[in-house]
Amino acid sequence: MNLGFLASHNGSNMQAVIDACRAGRLAASPVVVISNNVDSGALERARNERIPCFHLSGRTHPDPGDLDREIVDVLLEHDVNLVILAGYMKKVGPVTLATFPGHVLNIHPGLLPDFGGRGMYGRRVHEAVLAAGAGTTGATVHVVDAIYDNGPILAQTKVEVKKTDTADTLARRVLALEHELYVETIDRIIRGEIKLT
């Protein structure tokens, strides 16, 4: 299976998946990385791994429709079967969703459907979990559709929220879970244990 990544910042989840591919844990190949941030750590990671990478954003394609089509063109040129969002801070366009129906995945640093939706990402999720006094949190892998954090849930993992937790300590523990959950979920898809539409 050929994996294409969309990432905006550091790309640590992407790196976890790439490492699993390189180690033979995943029967998959990371074939392309696209970032909307020209200075992202994800692009640097891709260059270090010798994976083709591209900066595609509103700066390179001011028209959103043109940007969406260019992203699809790059993914198709690299024979991508599964699109992996790894901290991608932009809404996935309708052409991308139509070209890869049910085959665009995201990982969310919380237990959806709670603490999801527009504007709920990264530290904001952990702050909301703490503000709500939730006893557990975790990570969710889901299929991406036209609504933020709305698509079918494929897998979740949980962690206890400690009374001493801050948004930063919670973020670190959840991120470690994300790395494992993403790899495990992609492996289950490859093995046919999880069926995508």
Contact in structure between 1 and 29 (CB atoms under 8 Å): yes
Q: Which amino acid is at 106?
A: N
Residue linked to tokens 């995943």: 26
Residues 6+ apart with CB under 8 A from 35: 6, 7, 8, 11, 42, 43, 53, 54, 55, 56, 57
Dihedral sign for Cα 56, 57, 59, 60, please: positive
- What number of CA atoms fall less than 13 Å from residue 120's CA on the CB side? 21
CA distance 136 to 89: 25
- Residue 108: active-site member: yes
Out of 108, 126, 142, 179, the active site residue is: 108
Task: For residue 52, say if its preceding peptide bond is cis, omega within 30 degrees of 0.
Answer: no
CA distance 189 to 41: 27
**Which positions are annotated as active-site residues?**
108
